[in-house]
Every structure is written in structure tokens, then in C-alpha cells.
Copies of this chain bind each other. A is one copy, B any other.
Amino acid sequence: MNDASTPVSAPIVIEILDQIRSQRPLIHCMTNIVVAGFTANALLAVGASPAMVENAEESAEFAQIADGLLVNLGTLTPARVEAMRAAVAAANQAQVPWVFDPVAVGALTFRTKLAAELIAQRPAVVRANPSEVLSLAGATGSTSRGVDSTAGSGSAVAAAQVLAQRAGSVVAVSGAVDYITDGDTIVQVHTGHELMTRVTGVGCALGALVAACCAVTESSLMAASAGTAILTVAAQVAASQTDGPGSFAVALLDELYALKPSTLEAHLMAGAR
């Protein structure tokens, strides 16, 4: 555990969730064929309005209408890459915050180059697993193979700080403990459950939820922390009701919809150390 880190603030998380539910931000998702449905359902459950637009003919126009943008490298195609470039440029021009999820970066040459290019466009938040953060920070010994991390989140905290400072972005590292940093402050989130790793797209949905949080608050650090807290508390509640990954995924959506301030407060306090 990093001594300089602080637990996430429950009142801020509650306020941000409340803002999503009242404002219903429109979130432009450029994500992959594996998780698109689950991502949209997670955003709808929490109260946001998702829309997937991935073609270069429309992505720039839509990024400027949206309240937040998610760029996820899941299942790339050259056409989707063009559409992402256009959307990112348009979002930056219109000051729409965007979240970058560099799925499997480090494992494959093509997307490793692309990730470096997109990070230079200053996403508000980079949401990644420890292996991906180590790769993006240029850490030696980074060991990415597929889409699942082979490193723990604690080992990636220092790399996350380096990356955040260099990129000018907030970096959120997912793991048994989640760490969110702007390069200076480190926020910890201790909630969550192991079943999250047995359902595809939970990490990808987190990127989308963080984009929804960015749409309703100025601070990217608070947005990334709140999105992480909302998802991991909902996951903890869901896991207490189920005992398999199929029913856990269903219960997670139900709980994102039902999540009460008192539940957030109780779980975040219990998780703080």
C-alpha cells in the first residue's frame, strides 16, 4: 500500500452519481464487439444515455454532440482507427472529455503504436489494467499477453504516476485494489470482487462509467475515482447475492440501477483503511 494515497470520498461519489441520474449525459462509446452490449446496459442502468458510433463518416460529428467519449481499443479495424482519430480531435476541439481504454496494449505491436499516438492527444482519463499501465509507462519487465493482466495493481502504481505526469491525464489502474492518480495525489478504492474478472467487459464498462462521471464533474481525478467506486460497490453488493459469473453480471446491472447513497457510504467506509 502506498502511504501517500487517500481513500475515495463517499460524499463526492454520491454527488456524482446523483448528477448522472439527473443530467443523463450522452456518452459516445467507441468500443468493441465483445462488450458493446454490456457497456450500453451498464450506462443505462446507472442513468446515462449511451450511443455507439464508430464510423469515420459520423464519429467526429457525434463526439461534438456528446457529453463524454470513450475510446476502447478492443476489436480494432483500420476503419475504426480512423473514426477514433476523428472523434478524439473533435472531442478535444469541443472540450468534450474523453476516456481512453488501451485494451491489450503491449501485447501487440499495432495497437501499442496507436495507443502512444492517442495518449499524446491528452485523454481526461486513461483506464487500464496493471499490465497495460506498465506497458504504457515503458516499464521494463512489462508482461502483457492477452487482455487479462499478469501483474498486480500495486506494482503499477509508480508507473501510473509516471504515465499521468507525462501524459497530463488521470490514470486509473484496475485491480484487487484500484488506484487513481493525477501524477501527484493517489486515490485508492478497496471495494470490488473477484467475480469481476470472470465476466467479460466489466473493465470496459468501467471506462464508460468514468466517461459518464467526467461529463458531470470538472475534476478528472474525482470522476475516475467515482466511476471506480460506483462499479466496485455495485459489484460487491451483486457478489453477495450470487455465486456464479452469469448471475453476477445480471445482479451487477440491477445494482447499478438500484445503488443507494447509504450503500455507497457503508461499503466505501468498510473498504477504507
A contacts, CB < 8 Å to B: 26, 32-38, 40-41, 44-45, 49-55, 57-58, 61-62, 65-66, 74-79, 104, 107-111, 145-148, 197-201, 242-247, 249-255, 257-258
Contact = CB atoms under 8 A, between A and B. Distances in A.
Given A36-B33, A44-B245, A51 B257 contact: no
A76 B258 CA distance: 33
A51 B146 contact: yes
A242 to B, nearest CB: 8
29 contacts: A32-B52, A33-B52, A34-B36, A34-B52, A35-B37, A36-B75, A37-B200, A40-B200, A41-B249, A44-B199, A45-B198, A45-B245, A49-B148, A50-B146, A51-B104, A53-B104, A53-B108, A54-B75, A55-B77, A58-B76, A62-B108, A65-B107, A77-B79, A242-B254, A244-B253, A244-B254, A245-B253, A247-B251, A249-B250
Contacts of A44: 197-200, 245
Given A52-B75, A61-B109, A62-B107, 13 more contacts: A34-B36, A49-B146, A51-B147, A55-B75, A55-B77, A58-B111, A62-B108, A243-B254, A244-B255, A246-B249, A246-B257, A247-B250, A247-B251
Nearest to A50: B200
Contacts of A38: 37
A108 B51 CA distance: 12
Of A37, A109, A198, A253, most buried by chain B (CB within 10 Å of CB) is: A37
A254 B251 CA distance: 13
Nearest to A40: B200
Nearest to A37: B34
A244 B251 CA distance: 8
Contacts of A36: 33-34, 75
Contacts of A254: 242-247
Contacts of A197: 44
